Every structure is written in structure tokens, then in C-alpha cells.
Amino acid sequence: MKKTDLQHATVGELNTKLEEAYQELFNLRFQRSTGKLTNSARFGEVKKDIARIKTILRQRELAGQ
């Protein structure tokens, strides 16, 4: 996900994307534990996506106060 794509999304869309990212992270952890993980670099990508989404949500929360 790109930062510019996320900045133009609504809060509802961001929350949905955050839930999807957490679900993907869970699935990656499960695949790793069963030995079926093929792309271990995806862990870092998903974690960074989560951080980006949380940062944008927090910025909007602070701007609204």
C-alpha cells in the first residue's frame, strides 16, 4: 500500500484495511508455524502497512481535536 492511497481513504476504509492487514499477518504467522510460508519478506511489508494505517488514523484523530 502506498501512503498516498491511504491518505485519500475514509476512516471506515482505513479501519477495514487495518483489519485485513491484521488477518493477513495472522495467516502469515500460521503458515510460518506449519512450514508452508513461501515469502518471509511479506511479514515486514504487512507490519509496515499496519504502521502506516495506524499513523494516518492517529493524525486524523489529532487533527479533529
Q: Which one has a higher pLDDT value, 1 or 16?
A: 16
How far, in Å, CA of 41 to CA of 60, rounded? 30
Residue 36 φ/ψ, nearest 5 degrees: -110, 10
How far, in Å, CA of 30 to CA of 36, rounded? 9
Domains and CATH numbers, the chain: 3-64 (1.10.287.310)
Global pTM value: 0.91
The CB density around residue 49, as the number of other CB atoms within 10 Å, is 19
Task: Categorise residue 35: left if φ over 0, alpha if ψ from -120 to 50, beta otherwise.
Answer: left
Q: What is residue 9's DSSP assignment?
A: S
pLDDT digit string (tens) for 13-63? 999 999 999 999 999 999 999 999 999 999 999 999 999 999 999 999 999
For residue 9, give the C-alpha cell.
481513504
